[in-house]
């Protein structure tokens, strides 16, 4: 089993989402000792946002017509989408930034959302091609936004993953972490309970 561990917070050891992804990966590997873990740190190695060079894989430019920069960007996009497709389990650290996800996480999503690789259009509409994997999202928020209309973080991630065919998505949530030390401690304790619960549910889904 292959597990892709993704962090996107730039806060290093001060990051709650990083703490939760570490604990989630540790719980998963304790349940599945043979799991091979690969770590992708988007705060350290963030792909460039899409531009006329990095859009090469979407524009269908012939290989002989690509510039050297476009070839490099295409190679990076291929590496990222291949890494994602090869994973059986993906653990994503996704703090809420301005009601959505960090820009570096969005840049990664834009690289792996590739027609013909993770989705395709059919006469009946779009079809996801990346199904069969489990995703666990470590969601952290400074305030409390569950079921709030301004939450464009968890809903967005579920939507874009679902578009790519990934429907086995589990949330480990810590919210209110900027509302004082007591609230932060309670949020982390709640998230740790989520880790136990969601990994168990994910196990049941895989075994079914």
Annotated binding-site positions for FMN: 9, 15-17, 96-99, 140-143
From the list 207, 8, 201, the residue with the least C-alpha distance to 102 is 8
CB 1 within 8 A of CB 36: yes
Nearest CA to 96 among 184, 200, 8? 8
Write out the E strands in 52-99.
89-95
Measured torsion, CA atoms of residues 23, 33, 135, 102, in degrees rounded to the nearest 10? 40
- Extract the runs of DSSP E, i.e. beta strands, from 56-104: 89-95
Binding-site residue ranges: 9, 15-17, 96-99, 140-143
Q: How far apart are CA 88 and CA 60, in angstroms?
A: 28
In residues, how long is the chain?
208
In angstroms, the CA 41 to CA 33 distance is 23
């Amino acid at each position: 089993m292959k597990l892709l561990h993704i962090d996107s917070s730039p806060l290093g050891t001060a990051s709650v989402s990083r703490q939760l992804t570490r604990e989630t990966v540790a719980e998963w590997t304790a349940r599945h000792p043979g799991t091979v873990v690969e770590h992708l740190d988007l705060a350290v190695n963030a792909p460039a946002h899409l531009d006329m060079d990095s859009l090469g894989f979407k524009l269908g430019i012939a290989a002989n017509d690509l510039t050297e920069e476009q070839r490099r960007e295409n190679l990076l996009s291929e590496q990222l989408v291949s890494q994602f497709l090869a994973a059986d389990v993906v653990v994503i650290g996704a703090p809420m930034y301005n009601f959505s996800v960090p820009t570096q996480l969005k840049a990664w999503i834009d690289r792996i959302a590739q027609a013909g690789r993770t989705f395709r259009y059919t006469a009946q509409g779009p079809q996801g091609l990346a199904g069969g994997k489990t995703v666990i999202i470590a969601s952290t928020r400074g305030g409390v936004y569950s079921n709030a209309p301004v939450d464009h973080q968890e809903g967005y991630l579920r939507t874009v993953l679902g578009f790519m065919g990934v429907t086995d998505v589990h949330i480990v949530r810590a919210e209110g972490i900027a509302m004082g030390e007591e609230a932060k401690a309670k949020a982390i304790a709640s998230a740790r309970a989520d880790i136990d619960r969601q990994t168990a549910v994910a196990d049941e889904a895989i075994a079914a």
